[in-house]
Structure 1
Amino acid sequence: MPQKVAFIGLGVMGYPMAGYLAKQGYDVCVYNRTTSKAEKWCEQYSGRMALTPALAAQDADIVFLCVGNDDDLRQVVYGENGVLDSMQQGSILVDHTTVSASVSREVYAAAKTKNIGFLDAPVSGGQAGAENGVLTVMVGGDKAIFDKAEPAIQSFARCVKLLGASGSGQLAKMMNQICIAGVVQGLAEALHFGQNAGLDCEAVIDVISQGAAQSWQMQNRYQTMLNNQYEHGFAVDWMRKDLAIALDEARRNGSTLALTALVDQYYADVQKMGGNRWDTSSLLARLQK
């Protein structure tokens, strides 16, 4: 019999991630707050759906979560019809939400009292990475639990790595977002400078992308930035949520994140421009206003 898994949260990331699990032969039961989206998923992938997280999780070997924030995670784990009380002993809970390391450690401890394994496993790669099954997954937790869950996670990932104890996956995701914030701001300023200098920015990018300035952002976002196209990708609102988590953790561990704090405020400016759902590369629009 195929391994039974549940997937809670069918947003732009979760929907294709659950789809890849079904394509790999797992018996997938999904739950989503908007029932119509779960129904659509079942039609597309011939899977099953449940009307509550608890019902989706009750007979699953692995339960995957991909929700919004710390409060959403607590609600779907502990709340009314939450998964923790219905999961069977020896099963595994894998959280792909980007949340604080503290709430991940909290859920890890709560799951352990019920003999349930827990992994914090935030992802990088955005909607395109989820749709193409090539996400990077940063994992925190116990190695024995990771070894059991890794084959299923590989269904939608290009890279999966255990990085340490519970919370380590979330800390790694914070590092990821800190790097992205600085790189996107640098690219935005470079394009802004080039436009004001009267250069052919496409030609310049063609040259400098072959050298040390190259980045994923440069390869995948410069064209849409030059065309003022931002109705796609990873939303500014989500990035500010992630940076707030990183900045809060930095205050706790004594790190200085001056550039990250500055770019976070630049994203606040983009929000004031109405760009809440724009891609994070919209930092260029702020410079052009």
Structure 2
Amino acid sequence: MAKLAFLGLGVMGYPMAGHLVAKGHAVTVYNRTAAKADAWVAQYGGAMAATPAAAATGADFVMACVGNDDDLRAVCLGETGAFEGMEEGAIFVDHTTVSAKVTRELAQAADALGLGFVDAPVSGGQAGAENGVLSVMCGGAEAHYAAAEPVIAAYAKICRRLGESGAGQMAKMCNQIAIAGLVQGLSESLHFAEKAGLSIPELVEVISQGAAGSWQMVNRAETMAANKFDFGFAVDWMRKDLGICLETANETGASLPVTALVDQFYKDVQKMGGNRWDTSSLIARLRKLD
């Protein structure tokens, strides 16, 4: 079993770090709000530290799941950053969804210090984190990935290396692009069904078994029909991710017309006060347009 640090105890990081303890690892956590770290230690055991550097001291692996590019830089760099506390040969595993640009920047900084760096964004939402069945998309050196994969397995249903540093983040962008269009399509389908007077449960039972079936349909159709949107990944975070996708598309020359449109639909949801609603709330926008 390894000595680990986990930085960031949000809706994803909190249960992910718990799974590491359940697998027998020695885990020290850091969270910007210390009360959350106190609560985690009370629930799972382990230890907490006042800074990322202190949490990372002596750790074989340092896992992070924070908010955005700036948050990630803050927990990695500087006198109190994790890189300051890590020993040569230790590996940093970043589960945050950030730009490939910051990933490559930090991977280079880690390499200069003799540290490994694996970008490993996740998909599966809060439920996936709590149940330990996340999909993990990784980039980085093969040796660093091979060392980190057995640790990541504590909360992963599938974990794959897709290339060098930044490849994991590029894969996560593909994931978010696919979800954006799918959720809008499902929202329109259910909205149409409501207008047509169809039974949503009966409709979903039938069409989910055919080509229209998806994880979103199976897991969100019922709550969307009930106008309930408190089930995981928030609209604010989705807009952050789609912003990264659209910015990267401009850099690579990719065309993302549907993604750009759905991003604006999520902006409409924010204007409705749905910043913290989950991503299935696109249907609320359609209902408002009636």
- TM normalised by structure 1 equals 0.99
Distance 1:177 1:79 in 2: 31
Aligned to 2:57: 58
Q: RMSD of aligned C-alpha atoms?
A: 0.7
Which residue of structure 2 aligns with residue 144 of structure 1?
A: 143
How far apart in 1 are the matches of 2:85 and 2:201? 55
Match of 1:190 in 2: 189
Partner of 2:5 in structure 1? 6
TM-fit CA distance, 1:231 = 2.1
Once residues 153 and 108 of structure 1 are traced to their aligned partners in structure 2, the CA distance between those partners, rounded to angstroms, is 18
Q: Over residues 65-121 of structure 1, what are the superposed CA-to-partner deviations in whole Å (9 max), with x where a residue is unaligned? A: 110000001111113400112110000000000000010001110100011000000
Partner of 1:221: 220
**d(CA) in 2 for partners of 1:145 and 1:202?**
46
Whole-Å separation in 1 of the counterparts to 2:259 and 2:45? 43
Output the amino acid matched with 1:85. E
The match for 2:281 is 282
- Gaps (5+ residues) in structure 2? none
Query: d(CA) in 1 for partners of 2:169 and 2:62?
Result: 18
Aligned-partner Cα distance in 1 for 2:147–2:44: 24
Q: Indicate whether 1:110 and 2:109 are aligned.
A: yes
Taking the aligned partners of 2:174 and 2:79, their CA distance within structure 1 comes to 33
Tell me the secondary structure at the aligned position of residue 246 of structure 1.
helix
For the residues of structure 2 that align with 1:12 and 1:194, how far apart are their CA atoms? 33
Letter in 1 for 2:191: H
Q: Distance in 2 between matches of 1:27 and 1:121?
A: 21
| Aligned counterparts, 1:1-289, within 5 A | 2-289=1-288
Between the aligned residues of both structures, percent identity stands at 62
In structure 2, distance between residues paired with 1:36 and 1:287: 39
Work out the CA distance in 1 between the residues paired with 2:199 and 2:284. 18
Letter in 2 for 1:182: G
Residues paired across the two proteins, number: 288
Moved over 2 A (4+): none
After TM superposition, give the deviation of residue 246 of structure 1 in Å. 0.4
Task: Tell me the alpha carbon deviations over residues 143-169 of structure 1, each in whole angstroms, 9 at most, x when there is no partner.
Answer: 101111110000011100000010000
Q: Which region of structure 1 is more displaced relative to structure 2, 228-237 or 249-258? A: 228-237
For the residues of structure 1 that align with 2:8 and 2:212, how far apart are their CA atoms?
Answer: 37
> CA offsets, 1:39-58, max 9 Å, x none?
11111111111111100001
Separation in structure 2 between the aligned mates of residue 268 and residue 3 of structure 1, nearest angstrom: 43
Q: Which moved more, 1:36-45 or 1:163-172?
A: 36-45
Find the residue that maps to 1:115 and give its secondary structure: coil
SS in 1 for 2:165: coil
What is the deviation of 1:37? 1.0
Task: Provide structure 1 residue ranges, at least 5 long, that are not aligned to the other structure.
Answer: none
C-alpha distance in 2 between matches for 1:128 and 1:82: 30
User: What is the deviation of 1:193?
Assistant: 0.7
Q: CA deviation at 1:137?
A: 0.4
Give secondary structure in 2 for the equivalent of 1:160: strand
CA drift at 1:6: 0.2
Task: State the secondary structure of the residue aligned to 2:84.
Answer: coil
Q: Which amino acid aligns with 1:108?
A: A
1:85 aligns to what SS in structure 2?
Answer: helix
Q: Distance in 2 between matches of 1:234 and 1:45?
A: 24
* Contact 2:78 2:84 survives alignment (8 Å): no
- SS of match in other structure, 1:159: strand
SS in structure 1 opposite 2:277?
A: coil
3-state SS of paired residue (2:85): coil
Task: Name the CA distance, whole Å, in 1 between partners of 2:72 and 2:200.
Answer: 43
C-alpha displacement of 1:199: 1.4
**C-alpha distance in 2, partners of 1:181/1:127?**
17
AA in 2 matched with 1:105: R
